[in-house]
Structure 1
Amino acid sequence: MARRHFISTRWPGLRQVLLLALLACLLPAAVPAQTSPVPPRAGLMWNRTGLPAVFPLQVKTPAGADYYLTLSDAETGAAALAAYIEGGAFFKVLVPPGRYVLRFASGERWQGEDRLFGPGAQTQRFELPRVLEFAIRGAGIKAGHAVTLFRQQPGGGLEAAVAAQHICQIASVEGAEPQPVPASARRLFRLGGDARSRGILHLQWRLQLGGPQAGTPLEQWQRSLFLLGNPLLPPRASGLDGRDRRPPPVRFRSYSVRSLFCG
């Protein structure tokens, strides 16, 4: 009886131990694993200046890492703009006017704007040694820059080369194209018959010798000597043929402005 009592008292404790061991195995699987933030899309991330971004900035980078670019005001040090660049891919962004210091951070795994690409050597930093100015030059030329990052040797530090890049604005006036004058409107009428017949008829009218009755074939024939087409139309003055009339002035309707890269 004592042995049976020992087994009945120890079995509930063993069951609790097994239950705790099972929970310990399942607990790590229930806790979600921490994942790195998804890298942002390449391009502009934010612009805190409140000014329109109209000046070109092109950046060429070596492949193998991504880049986080920030522009800071050269006078105040305030952050002006940030952009994300995929290494080795073509990148161009428009920036607001001003004088800026360019700073780059590069790495392989993006971990957010606070941690960048990770602590220590996981994030490599580079600051452009010269201040870049973005401003208007001359008549409608937007002056920007093209920055090329490169490494002298694999695994070495970054270096940069800077070249000028401009956007030129070309204005053109768009006016109404002159419409060709139809041939029928160049001369409103032309004389018919021969000069002798027209002269005889003219003298008869001037001497009031009378004429054929209106609407008769003879009257229509006489009219045809002076006006071809409908003989019942009244004669018109020869000064309306338009040869001495000046064409109407062309009034411009609008103008257009085109922007293109010019250097």
Structure 2
Amino acid sequence: MTFRCAEKGAGRLLAVLLACLVPLALMAAPQRAGLMWNRTGLPAVFPLQVRTPAGADYYLTLSDAETGAASLAAYIVGGKFFKVLVPPGRYVLRFASGKRWQGEERLFGPGAQTRRFELPYPLEFAIRGAGIKGGHVVTLSREPPGGGLQAAVKAQYICQIASLEAPELLPGRAQPLRQFHLGGDARSRGILHLQWRLQLGGPRAGTPLEQWQRSLFLLGNPLLPPRASGLESRVGQRPPARFRSYSVRSLFCG
């Protein structure tokens, strides 16, 4: 009889312990910031940068604007720098925010523990002219105490800049190989490249400013007819050469 009482008491204690441990087991492990999944089957190449206020984390989903299908999800730590590449398309952006992540089903918890916000219009991620990938920067901020989130959106571009590598001298030439470099810095070339590709205009042909811009971008302005740069007479006659190859690199240019 005594043994049975002890057995019943041990059973109650075990039940209490299980009741305490079950909620802990149901809680999701801390989620790492970054891309969670991409269900489109398309390559993610377009930039999306999200700036968020500190004090909460954010669960971001992109849904196809036409079909409503879930396309991409990412996790953002509030107040930290966040940038992700997304596939091409038009998407509705939805945010859920809170303090303790509990998985994609429960998000940050029931009721007021999870706050939701949706951009009022879809964002398009697409090619903007030759070699320019158009994306967006979304800045979330909190309204006065008691209010929700508000968003500001601006465009962001990745430009692909080509540069020539070392030329291959013709047979019989004893001179060493020469390197050809772009002038200026990468940012100034990227801005000019973006202006030309978007046909935003530029300085009048033949002016010193136009010649300086040409010196920054070796491949020249595609909106203007090519002509001699006038540099050949200053550097002397160069030996005939065949370019081995060229390299293409991407940089944020707007």
Q: Structure 2-normalised TM-score?
A: 0.68
Aligned to 2:211: none
Structure 1 residues 247 and 166 mapped into 2: Cα distance closer, same or farther (>3 Å)? Answer: closer
Spell out, residue by residue over 1:145-183, the C-alpha distance to the aligned partner (whole angstroms, 9 max, x if none).
Answer: 00000112134201000011111110112132767749x
**Aligned equivalent of 1:134:** 125
In the TM superposition, what are the counterparts of 1:125-164 in structure 2 within 5 Å? 125-164=116-155
Match of 1:116 in 2: 107
Contact 2:95 2:118 in 1 (8 A): yes
When residues 30 and 131 of structure 1 are mapped into structure 2, their CA distance, relative to the original with a 3 A threshold, is closer
CA contact (8 A) 2:49 2:136 kept: yes
Once the two structures are superposed, residues 174-194 of structure 1 have per-residue CA deviations (whole angstroms, 9 ceiling, x without a partner) of 132767749xxxxxxxxxxxx
CA-atom RMSD in angstroms: 2.2
Q: Which runs of 5+ in 2 are unaligned?
A: 177-236
5+ long unaligned stretches in structure 1? 1-12, 183-245
Between the two proteins, what is the percent identity of the paired residues?
72
* Other-structure match for 2:250: 259
Q: Which residue of 2 aligns with 1:46?
A: 37
Looking at structure 1, the residues matched to 84 and 54 of structure 2 have their Cα atoms a distance apart, in angstroms, of 19
Q: Is 1:97 aligned to residue 88 of structure 2?
A: yes
Provide the C-alpha distance between the structure 1 equivalents of 2:22 and 2:59, rounded to a whole number of angstroms.
Answer: 26
In structure 1, what is the Cα distance between the partners aligned to 2:86 and 2:148?
Answer: 26
Cα deviation, 1:212-244, whole Å, max 9, x if unaligned, reads xxxxxxxxxxxxxxxxxxxxxxxxxxxxxxxxx
Aligned match of 1:21: 9
Structure 2 distance, partners of 1:30, 1:68, is: 30
Tell me how far apart the structure 1 counterparts of residues 71 and 58 of structure 2 sit (CA, whole Å): 17
SS in 1 for 2:23: coil
The one-letter code sitting in structure 2 at the alignment partner of 1:90 is F
Question: Relative to structure 1, is the Cα distance of residues 16 and 49 closer, same or farther in structure 2, using a 3 angstrom cutoff?
Answer: closer
1:17 Cα deviation from its structure 2 partner? 2.6
Indicate if the aligned counterparts of 2:168 and 2:243 stay in contact, CA closer than 8 A. no
Alignment of 1:1-263 (within 5 A): 13-29=1-17, 32-35=21-24, 36-176=27-167, 181=175, 249-263=240-254
Question: Cα offset for 1:120?
Answer: 1.1
Residues of 2 paired with 1:256 and 1:147: CA distance?
A: 31
The equivalent residue for 2:182 is: none
Amino acid at match of 1:91: F
- Higher CA-based Rg: 1
Corresponding residue number in structure 1 for 2:191:
none
Q: Deviations over 1:64-120 (max 9, x none)?
A: 111000000111111110000001110000000111100000111111111111111
The alpha-carbon deviation at position 39 of structure 1 amounts to 2.8
Asked whether the equivalents of residues 175 and 250 of structure 1 are also in contact (C-alpha less than 8 Å), the reply is no
Q: Give the Cα–Cα distance (whole angstroms) in 1 for the partners of residues 175 and 105 of structure 2.
A: 72
Between the two proteins, the alignment pairs up a number of residues equal to 188
CA shift, 1:247, in A, is 7.3
Mark the CA change 1:167 to 1:20 in structure 2 (over 3 Å): closer, same or farther: same
Q: Answer whether contact 1:74 1:99 (CA < 8 A) is retained.
A: yes
1: CA distance, partners of 2:175 / 2:57: 65
Question: Distance between the aligned counterparts of 1:15 and 1:137, measured in 2?
Answer: 80
Which range moves more in the overlay, 20-29 or 149-158? 20-29
In 2, the alpha carbon distance for the partners of 1:177 and 1:55 equals: 35
Q: Following superposition, which runs of at least 4 residues in structure 1 exceed 2 angstroms of deviation?
A: 13-34, 175-182, 246-249
More displaced 10-residue stretch of structure 1: 33-42 or 141-150: 33-42
